[in-house]
Copies of this chain bind each other. A is one copy, B any other.
Amino acid sequence: MALPYRRERPRLPAAERRRQIVEVTTRLIAERGFWGLSMQDVADGCGLTVPGLLHHVGSKDGLLLAVLDHRDREDMRSVGEQAPGTLRETCAALVRRNAAQPEIVRLFAVLEAESLTPDHPAHDYFDARQRKTVEMLSELATDETGDALTLARQIVALMDGLQLQWLRYPESVDLVAEWEYASARLFVTVAE
């Protein structure tokens, strides 16, 4: 009744394995979305079995949570690093950061659309994220315009939209350049 127990691939400490799992999952969700993601694919990408993967994340929802948690901590870290600036500077910094990590931007683009439906496991997360972003930009915008909320929404919309085009045509669309052109129009007092 002895099981031929194979251990060909190395056994990693939990923290390191989790990092790997998050990295692999990020790539796969960016490609297929969460509905299209399979635990098997993630396990294969990490070189372990599905129960081995489940040992670390508990469930498929737990896997998504791990990815989003990791992103939140990374974002916190990067926001804390830079000095607070004007609205325009903040946006430019944000765009530059995004232009350097297409994989992450694509993860968010796919999940943001997928999570529009209320029964998506990341629905609440993206609701909160969207609110926070608009609020943050809106506060910065109060110095420059009367209708800060509207401007904040336009900024977010333009960023999201340009990112989609950039992700589809990475060679012919330069995200940073497009944002510069656009912000010239955005940050101008309306004469009407």
Contacts and interface: CB of A to CB of B under 8 A. Distances in A.
B31 A33 contact: no
A168 B36 contact: no
A156 interface: yes
A184 B33 CA distance: 35
A91 to B, nearest CB: 14
The size bracket of the interface on A is 35 or more
A61 interface: no
A191 B188 contact: yes
Interface string A78-103: 00000000000000000000000000
B156 A157 contact: no
B156 A161 contact: yes
Interface stretch (A40-48, A52-60, A111-119, A135-143): A111-119
A190 B188 contact: yes
Contacts of A112: 113, 164
A133 to B, nearest CB: 11
A144 interface: no
A96 to B, nearest CB: 17
Contacts of A182: 154, 157
A158 interface: yes
Top 3 nearest A-B pairs by Cβ distance? Answer: A157-B161, A35-B36, A161-B161
A137 to B, nearest CB: 13
Given A116-B168, A161-B158, A185 B181 contact: no
Contacts of A104: none
Contacts of A160: 157, 160-161, 164
B185 A154 contact: yes
Contacts of A147: 181
A110 interface: yes
A168 B31 contact: no
